[in-house]
Structure 1
Amino acid sequence: MAKEDRGGGRRVMKNERYLPALILSSLTIMTAVFLFWELIEENFFANLDSSSLHFLYITRGVALGVILSAWSVWFILKYRRKYEQAQHGLQSQLFETEKLAALGELIGGVAHEVNNPVGIIISRLELMLSDAAEHNIPERFVRDLETLQKHASRIGTITQQLLSFSRKSGADYAPVDLNTVVSSTIPLIDHELKKKGIAIDFKLSPGLPKVKGNFNQLQQVLLNLLTNARDALAAGGQETTAQPVIQIGTWMTRAKDAVRLCVVDNGRGIAGEDRSRIFDPFYTTKKAGTGLGLSVSYGIVKEHGGTLTLGNDGQEGICGTCFTVALPAAGQGAYS
């Protein structure tokens, strides 16, 4: 998204330089033609009388006019094609944006309708499991109830992600400490990481300025990134026999205008063909994935005026996959 905006900016700048480029190139051609013609006159037509020289000057002007006309036509046609291509690209982007907006509305409606009955199903299954423990229900029936509860919970998770994906902006923003977001999110997933033998390495910079945002939404972004790293490492994806590790780091940018949060794992990384689509809705490489976690996270970070980027995974040290969130420090504008 941000890339498309920057690309559009470059196209505007090129269009603004169109007329100066045409003038400068025309002057260059005129100078070259005059110098070339003067060289020819000095070497081949030095002894001509005044009437012949007059005719020669007229010929030089006509030749120069023809050359400049041909050059101008070529130049204009060239940039016209570029402009038409850029315009077509912008129209395509607008069409895709409108489709995504319509998709978001549809997703929100469907997810809302599904979420309520799923919540009732989950609560009834919990009651049935509680009754089963008190009334000595056969084990196979208990296992069936647990299976139903597991998959109903999965449906509930998916509908919540769909609701988050279709959510409109307008959440309450306040100064947020990213280090506090990290410390409050880790307990939500720490038990699962320990069960899978995954270590956490913290590299949190103290005294960071706060960012303006919604605490719960930023916590959701971090939890999504940690869940992705956990799934990648739990699948046995680390490159070496070393213990699987997730690194979490925070730091201030050199320009002191933004705070960054980085989640890195020592897994195998993301394949080249998947990297360009990793933030697309419903795109996933996991068998049990929904393809919404990163897309939702990307949207949340963008609403906060920040960026979520995929780093150079699988290249340096323990870095298997590296996601970086950059958010403007409180009081700063949008970061890009």
Structure 2
Amino acid sequence: MAMLKKKFFLFFKTRRQLKLWKWFSQQSLTVKLVGAVSIIVCLTVGFGTFLLMNISQQRIAETSITTALYHAQLIKSKLIEILLDETAQPEDIDRFLKTGYDKQNFDVQEINAFNEDGLITFSSSPEQLGRQATVLSGQTNRVTQDNAFTEFVGQGIKERLHIIQPIKINATCPWCRDETGNRINGIELFIPLSSIYQRFVSNNILFICLGVILIFFIALLIQWLVHRIVKRPLNKLMQVMERAEQGELDVRTSIREDPQLRRLAKSFNTMIHGIQMAQNRISRQHRHELAQSNRLASIGQFVSNISHEIKNPLAAISSAFHALRNELKSTGNEAVYEEVKTQIEKIERTVNNLLRYARQSPPHWESCRLLEVIHSALHLAGHRLKRQGIRVQVMSSASVPIVEADQGMLEQVFLNLFLNSADAMLHGGLLTISIDQREYFDQPNRAKQIVRVEVEDTGEGIREDDLAKIFEAFYSTKRKGTGLGLSVVKGIIEAHHGTIEVKSLPDKGTKIILSFQKFMKAENLVTV
């Protein structure tokens, strides 16, 4: 039961300590700092006060004992004088023991003179006569330099200092022996220590009061120093941070009180300056992009109108030209026919690119055999590729997926890429198209599959400075290019939730990597 009760109180004591620590950890930095330093100061001052109190008590006790021994020696000497006086009477000894010493400077509760048998023969308290005195002759560890014996008797405030002074005088003195013939062998004194205890208490109260006052003033000093060195600079920094949080990025602060806080303020100023510069750059970029967006929107509207105006007459010209096909062939102008046909198809592609760029219509989703889309685009570009002596190599994995996409848009993507490769290989080369299926993890334990198409040529390549701009509308590295092909391609790929990546080295060739993440199922196809 006692053990259970002990554990119960220990549990609640631990919980109180945890609550106190939790409360302290939630306080401000100033409270924590002042509290921690105050606790250290209290412990230091308390320990110092405790040491001073012990030292003071020891000094008071030593001084009191020395004074008591001194007065005891005086009483002994005076008593010996009385004993050696031939005219002295026993009443003189009693009178001296009762009133013959300096009571104002020396407080003695009781003085007894005892004989060789230890019996008290003279005493300042008559009731002690005939009693046995406490002889300490065997306790040599309590002997003083003048052969006096000392001990403390009693407890607490009733404690007394017991002193025994031996007396050795010539046996011929008239009063050295009592009625029984025994010599007076010594005197014993009982000195109350209540006055010493009062001095102890007074000194302890004094030291405690001084310690409390010292702790109070030190706590005030610590609080003032913390407020001046830490809290005031931090409040200043917090005010500036709040202004910066509200959007005033031109604010700055300076702290001189502490080197570390000075570095903190400097770092804050550097951070705010960096944020301000970044915001200015973003703002300029935003204004630039907004202006470009407005300009491109205007161009898109203009292009859409112009394309419609061109497309209708172009359709009529194409129909009329096809009607003249047999007549031109019969007159031996088949080469002229093919050239005109090529130029008309080129104008149609340019107009279609312009319309696609201007409209940016969403895809019409359907199931598409990716390999068939690629072959269809190769068929459309086949005449030009064959004329320039470009070899085509198509490689695919054993299982090629059927993607979910807009077949017409994908065909336009691959046709633009093939024609760009043809523009880069005017004197022949190799066009490689590879298709494969890969798996990656977009989240832990969650696999996703992508279809990856690589279109690689051995043409003249693209300079590194131009790589970052090739997807911008109306930007082209070719003299006669419109700058819309890759821009339209990128827009279509992004509309299909895919990605496009370009790798190129000047004079070595270009590789364009397309990735589609959305597909339906796989179908075994034959490698071409």
Distance of aligned partners of 1:159 and 1:200 in 2 relative to their CA distance in 1, 3 Å threshold: same
Distance of aligned partners of 1:199 and 1:146 in 2 relative to their CA distance in 1, 3 Å threshold: closer
Q: How many aligned positions are there?
A: 285
SS of the residue corresponding to residue 210 of structure 1 reads strand
Distance of aligned partners of 1:207 and 1:130 in 2 relative to their CA distance in 1, 3 Å threshold: same
Q: Does 1:231 align with 2:423?
A: yes
Corresponding position of 1:166: 358
Structure 1: how far apart are the matches of 2:319 and 2:355? 20
User: C-alpha displacement at 1:200, in angstroms?
Assistant: 2.2
Corresponding position of 1:309: 501
Structure 1: how far apart are the matches of 2:387 and 2:336? 24
Structure 1: how far apart are the matches of 2:337 and 2:399? 49
SS of the residue corresponding to residue 234 of structure 1 reads coil
- For structure 1, which segment, 52-61 or 142-151, has the greater mean C-alpha deviation from structure 2 after superposition? 142-151
Distance of aligned partners of 1:86 and 1:321 in 2 relative to their CA distance in 1, 3 Å threshold: same
Corresponding position of 2:519: 330
Of 417, 430, 433, the match for 1:245 = 430
Structure 1 residues 225-276: Cα deviation after superposition (integer angstroms, max 9, x where no partner)? 111112112257xxxxxxx222211222322332121111123321112111
Name structure 1 gaps, 5 residues minimum.
1-26, 237-243
Corresponding position of 1:4: none
Structure 1 residues 85-110: Cα deviation after superposition (integer angstroms, max 9, x where no partner)? 54664565455444433432321121
Matched-pair contact (CA < 8 Å) for 2:475–2:483: yes
Of 384, 406, 430, the match for 1:192 = 384
Matched-pair contact (CA < 8 Å) for 1:115–1:159: yes
Structure 2: how far apart are the matches of 1:85 and 1:66? 35
Corresponding position of 1:204: 396
Of 69, 81, 103, the match for 2:235 = 69
User: C-alpha displacement at 1:172, in angstroms?
Assistant: 2.3
- For structure 1, which segment, 161-170 or 292-301, has the greater mean C-alpha deviation from structure 2 after superposition? 161-170
User: C-alpha displacement at 1:219, in angstroms?
Assistant: 1.1
Corresponding position of 1:270: 462
SS of the residue corresponding to residue 355 of structure 2 reads helix
Structure 1 residues 267-292: Cα deviation after superposition (integer angstroms, max 9, x where no partner)? 33211121111011221111232211
Q: Quick one: higher RCO (CA 8 Å, sep 6+), 1 or 2?
A: 1
Matched-pair contact (CA < 8 Å) for 1:185–1:219: yes
Distance of aligned partners of 1:293 and 1:173 in 2 relative to their CA distance in 1, 3 Å threshold: same
Structure 1: how far apart are the matches of 2:329 and 2:384? 25
Larger of the two Rg values belongs to structure: 2
Structure 1 residues 39-76: Cα deviation after superposition (integer angstroms, max 9, x where no partner)? xx99xx99994314422322213322233234442564
Structure 2: how far apart are the matches of 1:211 and 1:131? 45
Corresponding position of 2:492: 300
CA RMSD of aligned residues (A): 3.9
Structure 2: how far apart are the matches of 1:132 and 1:85? 61
SS of the residue corresponding to residue 453 of structure 2 reads strand
Structure 2: how far apart are the matches of 1:121 and 1:222? 27
The equivalences for 1:112-127 within 5 A come to 112-127=308-323
Structure 1: how far apart are the matches of 2:235 and 2:285? 30
Matched-pair contact (CA < 8 Å) for 2:389–2:427: no
User: C-alpha displacement at 1:143, in angstroms?
Assistant: 8.3
Distance of aligned partners of 1:120 and 1:246 in 2 relative to their CA distance in 1, 3 Å threshold: same
Matched-pair contact (CA < 8 Å) for 2:363–2:496: no
SS of the residue corresponding to residue 254 of structure 1 reads strand
Q: Identify, as 1 or 2, the structure richer in strand.
A: 2
Structure 1: how far apart are the matches of 2:318 and 2:327? 14
Q: Identify, as 1 or 2, the structure richer in helix.
A: 1
User: C-alpha displacement at 1:80, in angstroms?
Assistant: 6.5
The letter for the 1-side match of 2:300 is: G
**Aligned sequence identity (%):** 26
